[in-house]
């Protein structure tokens, strides 16, 4: 990859595909585990994934890794803080 490349599309797609193909997706916040809902291309997936609390990631089992280009949505509630 060169900074002088005029078309970054192919390179960026390769980067995106490498994340999708790994089957591991980092979450931005810490979820309440029992509230996690995973959707792939708009379809709720109830099996083939697990939440790793130590790494704060969703990990898909090998047979359930979404295809490159799939849209993965993970929604969840977060624990509130009281002061």
pLDDT tens string 30-41: 999 999 999 999
- pLDDT at 59 exceeding the cut of 60: yes
How does pLDDT run across 17-56, given as a tens digit for each residue? 655 557 899 999 999 999 999 999 999 999 999 999 999 9
Buried/exposed 12-27: b ≥16 CB within 10 Å, e otherwise: eeeeeeeebeebebeb
Kindly state the tokens that stand for 28. Answer: 């931005």
For the whole model, what pTM was predicted?
0.70
Specify the pLDDT at position 64. 94
Most distant CA atoms of the chain, gap in Å: 52
The pLDDT-based confidence of 76 (bands split at 50, 70, 90) is: very high
């Amino acid at each position: 990859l060169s900074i002088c490349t005029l078309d970054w599309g192919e390179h960026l797609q390769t980067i995106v595909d490498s994340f999708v193909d790994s089957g591991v997706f980092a979450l931005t916040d810490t979820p309440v585990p029992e509230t996690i809902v995973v959707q792939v291309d708009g379809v709720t997936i109830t099996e083939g994934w697990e939440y790793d609390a130590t790494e704060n990631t969703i990990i898909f089992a090998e047979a359930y890794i979404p295809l490159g280009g799939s849209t993965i949505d993970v929604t969840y509630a977060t624990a509130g803080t009281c002061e």
